Amino acid sequence: MKKIVVLISGSGSNLQAIIENCNAKYINAEIISVISNNPNAYGLERAASANINSIVIDNKDFMSRDHFDSKLIKILDDLNPDLIILAGFMRILTEKLTNKYIGKIINIHPSLLPKYPGLNTHERVIENQDLVHGVSIHFVSSKLDCGPLIAQGEIKTKKHDDIRHLVERIHKVEHLIYPEIIKYICEDRIYLESNEVKFKNITSTESIIYNKYEI
């Protein structure tokens, strides 16, 4: 059974989806710790309710990103997880950290990368009247939202979509596709080799897993 650590900053809805899929044995892994940079993150309550150890590293206590990441690296080294999952972790990680754990950190981003890296993705979709929107899962690299793509989940936008409605629909996609990809990684069916994503015993007509959802 793989050991995973989940990093959060907020409500932890993706964390909850991962917890439920681990409990259901869909994901063959144990969440050994939840780490948050925000002491008030609701996701910490979700972890406590599931009897999962949690650690708070308040970024306000550190003078720089480098000092923060040094502390995070020490904690991750002590935990020694097989997989580190960013689930709404609102910190830009330093190259020191991303290079140390290359191929072991994944992130989910609310856009169809390379479109709309960074923040305010839903607003940009509505502003540009895009016909589709979605999420991307990627291995984390030193460049923000630019690591090797693993999977994407797409939905069609609707005329009545506002920010709130679009966010709700994207969250539903995240809660479906993230556990699926975590499952495959924990089964060694997805891995990174020479900075290229490799798939084993997974049928896909694309160079990445690309799912379309009617949500």
What CATH number should be reported for the domain holding residue 171?
A: 3.40.50.170
54: containing domain: 2-212
The pLDDT of residue 108: 98
Our count of domains for the chain comes to 1
The pLDDT of residue 214: 94
Q: Could you read off the pLDDT of 30-82 as tens digits, one per residue?
A: 999 999 999 999 999 999 999 999 999 999 999 999 999 999 999 999 999 99
Tell me what the pLDDT averaged over the chain comes to.
95
The catalytic site residues sit at 109
Q: Could you give the percent of the chain with pLDDT greater than 90?
A: 92
The pLDDT of residue 6: 98
Give the pTM. Answer: 0.95
The pLDDT of residue 204: 66
Our measurement of the distance from residue 75's CA atom to the centroid of its chain's CA atoms, rounded to an integer in Å, reads 19
Residues (pLDDT < 50) of the chain are none
The pLDDT of residue 147: 95
